[in-house]
Structure 1
Amino acid sequence: MTAIVGTGGNPVHSPSCTFGTNACTPRRAPRGEDRNVVDPSASAATVRALLSRADLKLRLATPEAALEPAALDRAARWVHSSDLADPTPFLSEGLVLLTTGTQFAEAGDDEQTHRAYVRRLQDRGVVALGFGSEVVRDGIPPLLESACLEARLPLFEVPYRIPFIAVARANAEAIAAESYARRTWALAAQRAVALAALRPDGLDATLAELARQLGAWVGLYDAAGGLRREHPAGQLDTATRGGLDTEVSAVLRRGARAGSALHVGDTPFSLQTLGRGGHLRGVLAIASGHLDAESRAVVTSVIAMAGLALEQNDGLQRAQGVLRAGVIHALLAGDVTLARRFVRELGDVLPSAPTTVCVAEGTPATLENAAEWLAVAATTDPVVFGRGPDGLVVAAAPESPLPEALVDRFPVRVGVSAPAAWAEFARAHDQALAALRRQRGAVARFGETAASGVLGALDSDLARVLAAASLAPLTDHDAARGTELLPTLRAWLEHDARIDAAAAALGVHRHTVRTRIAQAESVLGSDLSSFPARAELWAALQVSGL
């Protein structure tokens, strides 16, 4: 407990703890405007509001021009009084401190004592200092006034007839009134938002009402990271919009439910995801760095409404998913006419050929999220997609960046076919699957697979095991007896089974080559004069790399 000394000299005790508020109050709207629109910069419980109370007769001793900008507009979280030389252990940030100056009685004209006192208050976050005059001495000590002016700390005089408790009560009343106003605003704002949700375009009207109530820009991003709605429209400059798009895309890629506050340039934003973790449906962005409890309650109600509106689309999306799968299966069956009919039911048209077919491989949840993202991308790019027998199938223009965009945004691998006509969709689908199975990169293109030839497609664990088994008699023979049957066979096959050419390449006599080939036939138990036997041996050599 710290004694509060009234100007009449009677001590009144008050707890040394402090209370505060972060509230922001509605601005005063001109006639005809909605009076529930909030101005976050307005605040009733401020130093300026306290000084402006006519009944308190408080006098600002430090000229406002000499203070920090907006120093008088800082929130006064509480009013506390103390005559301790160092009251800071009992103070918290945002306080207005009142004193009668008894702590300076022994300091006399010691300028450093006054400076040190003011510096301690400033470091603790005290927003203003009030001096009760005519209790210990007449007027404010010049050294204290000079120290406050130097530190740019607001200093005001409390007249003798005004007890400190009256100043504290006035501030407490302002805080209570402010809190009541905020609660009243929150209830009215939630009602306005709920009424907006009943309009024909409920989601858009709700966001517009939220922007109006907060007096801030509000944007709704979809699951693909595209800005679909904003209020007021076009308020963000290009640089800020680009930076915000990047931040939102990063949040969506993480896939976890989250709320975050960040700055893009000089503009503060609050981001809140929509949907459940692993299945995000979008992000609500608000151009505001600080939302108090009442504002957050209103935003939370909007998030719930927006989430509900997006969840209600699930049934429609499932039906569309069935139609999209029907398109893919019709194309795989070669029925392009039926596929066109399904696409028309979806409100789209089958893009012009040629097209490339992509097959995306991933977990079911990942492919579901990718399909939602593609549904948004299809509104701007001609693309056909749906679930196929081997994963998510996407048909896009040959120059489309969709394969790379898919692997950049989702943990999937994508096989891409060569360009093909719609009637060749099944063959292109097989090419995409072959590329997916053959190549090891995130995006596997059939053109790269085809360049390695048919034998290159045999590069598999099973093929390598079979090749090693078929060549084992030769490798064992060479290792045990020091012969060179295997290199001789490779050179002979590389030179189209011509003895003389193989001998020249090996630097041995042609009879040596003929003898080794005969010996290899004996070891393998195979007649190498036939093409199938030679082809089998050549394939084994290619796969094994021997």
Structure 2
Amino acid sequence: MLPTLRRLLADPQLGLTVLGIAEPVALEAPVEWVHSSDLVDPTPFLSADQVLLTTGTQFGTDPKADADYRRYVQRLRDRGLTALGFGTEVIRNGTPEGLLAACQSLGLPLFEVPYRTPFIAVARAAGDLVAEDRYAGATWALRAQRAIALAALRPDGLSATLAELSNQLGHWVALFDASGTLDRVFPRETFSAAPDTRATVQHEARRLLGRGKRSSSSVEAGGETLSLQTLGGHDHLRGVLALGGPRALDQASTEVVTSVIALAGLALEQNNALDRAQGLLRSGLMHTLLGGDQKLVDQISRQMWGALPVGPVLVAVVDAPAARRDAITEYLELRVEDSPGQLFFARQEDTIVLCLDRAADGILSDLCTLFELHAGLSEPTEYRQLPRGLDQAQQALARAREGAVGVIGFDVVARQGVLALLARTDAREVGLATLAPVLAHDQTHGTELLATLHAWLLCNGQFGAAADQLGVHRHTVRARIQQAEQLLARDLGSFPARADVWAALLATDSATETGRTTREGG
């Protein structure tokens, strides 16, 4: 942290006198260094946050050169200088009124340097303040890092480390997991009291994680400066460390934060290695559970994560893309901690299988929404019938993949009937071969045998009802059906033949298409 202009002006040995300050807050501006120059335009040799001293020889002898003063001060202001010091009794007696007016108008602090105070003394005093503050910052950083290192040795090292960082900085510190969900925050009261800030930092954390690579950002929200940094490797981000407070971090604070980022990243990597081992254990337990040994699985689960959900349970199967599998697993581990006895899960090939308490299906919906996943959900299933529930969930997942992300329950599949499954299997080619003579006749002769066949079957073989639906005479329907029987070489007066043709229509989507054509034509 750099010393402020107020501290430099307060040195009694310098005898500096403030002449004009447009805003009192200007006294809190930092002083990086002090230079002296009588050039008309010294800005090429200056940088922001510096103080310039001058005796005024560049202004000439015209006391009314107000325009010259204003242009001069404007150049200093544009360069970002902290203040201007005027040495009196060297070239001029007192400070020119035009210079004072220009400084007050443009908001640049102006002070007088008495004849007895050489410019080098002002520069030396500023240098001493800079060195003093840098030493204080380095000393504080060493103390803070020592306190944080000791905190890391506690049983819950990660939480203790973040709590100590918050205490040392006077900032709140938050950790977001790999899904962008808030994992822990210190102090919780400060963070919870600012909902707008909380929403902003969570959105920014998820944005950084969505990029999939190491990155950082700084944003303003609620009057605070928020700093965020991803944790983990380039290919496997583990979370985001966020902190905020009324002021931006200085160099010493940034060094301390950098050390904590390294510690937190290491802790999360260790946790991830443990999670992988637990994942293998979970997969083995799920295999055992499917084999019928619920008692053994429940005993081990109670020691590791808590009791299994009470049966009957809902079985869910969720797609788990390789790029997001670790993040999905971490999210589910956190949900297990938050809701013990509500969830058991395990990876199975490219999917994740979940056993859910019947009242905990909201966990599945949240998972699909957050990670944009498809999921299938079984009917309530006892553990002894778990393989059957798994089959139901897998069938529902196959149906879910056909539409938008989200959850499809097996009850939706069941309501559509057994024959509806034919449209989603390899029966399509068989169905096309069955209907080929009718399809070819319609194409060649412009007839509507297929649409008539569909309407007639839908009306339970009633010629009159089918004729009303098609808008033709019932004898026309009869003639078309007889022609279709000849082309198909089937007696459609029998139930097996009708069922076979209806299944072919479903398998080829012809039932849907002809039904739409019939409705549009009617």
TM-score bracket, shorter-length normalisation = 0.7 to 0.9
The offset of 1:225, in angstroms, is 4.0
Q: Distance in 2 between matches of 1:484 and 1:155?
A: 95
Cα offset, 1:504, TM superposition: 6.7
Q: What per-residue deviation string (whole Å, max 9, x for no partner) do you get for residues 269-323 of structure 1?
A: 1112222244332222221452233322211111111222222234432332123
Q: % of aligned pairs identical?
A: 48
Secondary structure of 2:315's match? strand
- Which of 442, 464, 467 lines up with 2:405 in the alignment? 442
Residue correspondence of structure 1 range 66-85 to structure 2 within 5 A: 66-85=21-40
Once residues 148 and 502 of structure 1 are traced to their aligned partners in structure 2, the CA distance between those partners, rounded to angstroms, is: 95
Which of 365, 388, 405 aligns to 1:427? It is 388
Q: Which residue of 2 aligns with 1:329?
A: 287
| Counterparts in 2 of 1:172 and 1:428: CA distance versus 1, 3 Å | same
CA RMSD in angstroms comes to 2.7
State TM-score, norm by structure 2.
0.87
Unmatched tracts of structure 2, length 5 or more: 515-522
Corresponding residue SS for 2:155: coil
Partner residue, 1:298: 256
Residues 1:499 and 1:85: Cα distance change in structure 2 (over 3 Å): closer
After superposition, where does 1:241-256 map in structure 2 within 5 Å?
241-256=198-213
Q: Does 1:383 align with 2:343?
A: yes
SS of 1:287 mapped into structure 2:
strand
When residues 147 and 318 of structure 1 are mapped into structure 2, their CA distance, relative to the original with a 3 A threshold, is: closer
Cα-to-partner distance string for 1:111-153 (whole Å, 9 max, x where unaligned): 3333333233223222111111111122222332333333343
Partner residue, 2:42: 87
**Distance in 2 separating the partners of 1:281 and 1:431:** 34
Instruction: Find 1:418's aligned residue among 379, 397, 414.
Output: 379
Matched AA of 1:295 = S
Provide the secondary structure at the position in 2 that maps to 1:76.
coil
Partner of 1:537: 501
User: Paired residues, what number?
Assistant: 500
The alpha-carbon deviation at position 368 of structure 1 amounts to: 2.8
1:529–1:77: structure 2 CA closer, same or farther, 3 Å change rule? same
Return the alpha-carbon distance in structure 2 between the equivalents of residues 317 and 308 of structure 1: 14
Distance 1:478 1:231 in 2: 74
Query: Conserved in 2, the CA contact under 8 Å of 1:253 and 1:409?
Result: no
Change (3 A) 1:450 1:342: same
What's the TM-score, normalizing by structure 1?
0.83
Query: How far, CA to CA, are the matches of 2:333 and 2:175 in structure 1?
Result: 17
Letter in 2 for 1:281: R
Matches of residues 232-247 of structure 1 in structure 2 within 5 Å? 232-236=187-191, 237-239=193-195, 240-247=197-204
Q: Which moved more, 1:164-173 or 1:239-248?
A: 239-248
1:151 paired residue number = 106
Deviation (angstroms), 1:105: 2.3
Change (3 A) 1:432 1:134: same
Query: How big is the shift at 1:360?
Result: 0.9
Q: In structure 2, the residue corresponding to 1:464 is in which secondary structure?
A: helix
CA distance in 2, matches of 1:503, 1:114: 99
Report the alpha carbon displacement of residue 537 of structure 1 after superposing the two structures with TM.
Answer: 0.7
Structure 1 equivalent of residue 215 of structure 2? 258
Cα-to-partner distance string for 1:61-116 (whole Å, 9 max, x where unaligned): 23xxx531321221111212222233334332212111111122243223333333
Contact 1:326–1:339 (CA<8 Å) still a contact in 2? no
> In structure 2, do the counterparts of structure 1 residues 486 and 201 end up closer, same or farther at CA, with 3 Å as the change threshold?
closer
Letter in 1 for 2:221: V
- Are the structure 2 counterparts of residues 276 and 411 from structure 1 closer, same or farther at C-alpha, using a change threshold of 3 Å? farther
Instruction: Give 1:220's match in structure 2, choosing from 134, 155, 175.
Output: 175
- The structure 2 residue matched to 1:160, chosen from 100, 115, 119, is 115
**CA separation in 1, counterparts of 2:184 and 2:481?**
77
Contact 1:57 1:158 in 2 (8 A): yes
Determine which structure has the larger helix proportion and give its number.
2
Distance 1:163 1:361, change over 3 A: same
Q: Which of 428, 436, 447 is the matching residue for 1:472?
A: 436
Q: Which region of structure 1 is more displaced relative to structure 2, 409-418 or 70-79?
A: 409-418
